[in-house]
């Protein structure tokens, strides 16, 4: 197997651009080969990478924010001889983030708010989130606070966030059998084309 991550510079925790980026992550979502209904099967990564490529075992979006910066991207696992094709599919799907429709935005915002509220049921996740927020920002925002912010995210906000993310130079990490993973320059060029 080959594991590949493509990441872009994101924003620090507590920045107003966090909400559109979280919505972008929800739009990308993720999927696994053989996923059942309700397991993110309608997300972009599920429909445009996993379901289109039988050699892809899984693919999901991530966003991690720190006190001074962040990283947003996609992580995928594929059969080693087809990892290059997975990377191209991942890049194409990421580039497509510059266009988001109203229905897709509405669905992503609802999914994101649902995730926020579900986290309230898990004490350890809630305490970890509270601690992270206090350590990195000096304050705490509740799920209700974030839900209101997410409700205010517009198509223009999401498009602007996507363009800003994709304008940074990509970072790429691969491990396992990487013989078909494209060279960095080829992946970087895919985002400039």
Query: DSSP string spanning 42-54?
Result: TSHHIIIIITT-T
Give the separation between CA 20 and CA 157, rounded to whole angstroms. Answer: 6
Please, are residues 29 and 20 in contact by the beta-carbon 8 Å criterion?
no
Residue with the larger pLDDT of the pair 119 and 18: 18
Residue with the larger pLDDT of the pair 123 and 80: 80
**Residue 25: DSSP 8-state:** H
pLDDT of residue 142: 86
**Residue 62: DSSP 8-state:** E
Q: Rounded mean pLDDT of 34-56?
A: 82
Unique residue bearing structure tokens 């497509």: 96
Extended strands (E) in the chain: 2-10, 30-32, 56-65, 70-78, 171-176
Percent of the chain scored above 90 by pLDDT? 74
Q: Which residues does 171 contact at the CB level (< 8 Å), separation at least 6?
A: 5, 6, 7, 8, 71, 73
pLDDT of residue 37: 53
pTM: 0.91
Give the separation between CA 136 and CA 66, rounded to whole angstroms. Answer: 7
pLDDT of residue 186: 97
What is the tens place of the pLDDT at every residue in 47-105? 999 999 999 999 999 999 988 999 999 999 999 999 999 999 999 999 999 999 999 99
Give the separation between CA 107 and CA 126, rounded to whole angstroms. Answer: 24
């Amino acid at each position: 197997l080959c594991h590949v991550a493509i990441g872009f510079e994101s924003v620090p925790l507590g920045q107003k651009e966090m909400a559109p980026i979280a919505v972008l992550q929800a739009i990308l979502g993720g999927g696994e080969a053989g996923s059942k209904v309700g397991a993110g099967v309608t997300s972009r990564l599920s429909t445009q990478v996993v379901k289109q490529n039988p050699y892809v075992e899984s693919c999901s979006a991530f966003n991690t924010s720190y006190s001074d910066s962040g990283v947003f991207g996609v992580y995928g696992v594929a059969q080693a001889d087809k990892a290059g094709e997975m990377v191209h599919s991942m890049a194409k799907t990421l580039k497509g983030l510059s266009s988001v429709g109203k229905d897709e935005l509405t669905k992503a915002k609802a999914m994101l708010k649902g995730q926020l509220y579900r986290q309230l049921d898990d004490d350890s996740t809630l305490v970890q989130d509270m601690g992270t927020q206090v350590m990195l920002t000096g304050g705490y925002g509740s799920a209700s606070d974030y839900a209101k912010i997410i409700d205010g995210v517009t198509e223009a906000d999401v498009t602007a966030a996507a363009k800003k993310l994709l304008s940074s130079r990509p970072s790429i990490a691969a491990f396992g059998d990487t013989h078909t993973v494209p060279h960095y320059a080829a992946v970087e060029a895919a985002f400039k084309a």
